[in-house]
Amino acid sequence: MIEIKGIEKSFDDNHVLKNVSFTFEKGKTNLIIGESGSGKTTLLKILVGLHKKDQGTILFNGEDINKMSNKEIRRFRQEIGMLFQGAALYDYLTVEENIMFPLNMFTNKTHREKLQRVNSCLKRVNLEGKNDLMPSELSGGMKKRVAIARAIVMEPKYLFCDEPNSGLDPKTAILIDNLIQEITVEYNITTIVNTHDMNSVIQIGDNIAFIHRGEMWWKGNKENLFRSNNKELSNFVFASKLFKRLKQSS
């Protein structure tokens, strides 16, 4: 579980996050939704330590990261798996080398142990035997699956995914959403997914935070999302004609 309270962040005079509070639940795919520029990536980057927040509290399973020593922070960072916006694979490394990278960086495992772990992750994302392919030889969906394998190779307690299915066709996007959902339940981890894809919301929206202009505007799940009378949320959800029609026919 991750609790954030009163998060504030500005870049110079651009006040990006305003008093944002939320609880991301364990064993669930928690979604952060909101239009482009609303502050979703900034919030994830704060959680992973790539940006500094100006104010607020962040508790990872009850532990306050403000109160951790540098050594504790280094240990704790290894408990986070991150899937960046775009797959962000190393183009000059094979699939196997990409997935092994965090194990080489952070563990003293033998090559045999590392290879076993890499192969079990490859199997988990249905890419068994694809070890020696280069990223340029992969489809967009395969790249995302390799990135997911790399994100889970260290057996993280937390998995953060920034727009995991951007650039994919709707069918492959659903496969990626489902894979993230399955992994979350199977490993009982706290997963946060940033998205503006309404298909993802319908597919995996257990616990949703809607951020509007840097403010936490609405919280709920996919069931009550469609019944909400919140104007800004409705504008976001029903921006697509298809969803508008679905609403009218329900």
The SS3 assignment for 39 reads coil
CB 45 within 8 A of CB 194: no
Strands 207-212 and 215-220: antiparallel
Give the shortest CB-7-to-ligand ATP separation in angstroms.
12
Beta strands 158-162 and 14-24 are: unpaired
Q: Which does 135 bind (CB under 5 to 8 A by kind): Mg ion, ligand ATP, none?
A: none
Measured between alpha carbons, how far is residue 232 from residues 142, 200, 229 in Å? 35, 19, 9
Identify which of residues 32 and 148 has a Cβ nearer to ligand ATP in the complex.
32
Q: Least distance from C-beta 39 to Mg ion, angstroms? A: 9
Token digits of residue 26: 């364990």
Residues 24-43, one symbol each (x = binds ligand ATP by CB under 6 A, - = not), give ----------x-xxxxxxx-
Calculate helix-pair angle for 95-106, 111-124, nearest 10 degrees. Answer: 130
β-bridge partners, 3: 23, 59
Q: For residues 15 and 77, which CB has a smaller minimum distance to ligand ATP in the complex?
A: 15
Our finding on whether 82 is near ligand ATP (CB under 6 A) is no
Least distance from ligand ATP to the Cβ atom of residue 95, Å: 26
Torsion angle of C-alpha atoms 237, 238, 244, 246, degrees rounded to 10 = -10
Q: Which of residues 171-200 bind ligand ATP (CB under 6 A)?
A: 196
Site string for ligand ATP, 41-80 (x = CB under 6 A): xx--------------------------------------
Instruction: Report the interface residues with ligand ATP, using CB under 6 A.
Output: 11, 14, 16, 34, 36-42, 196
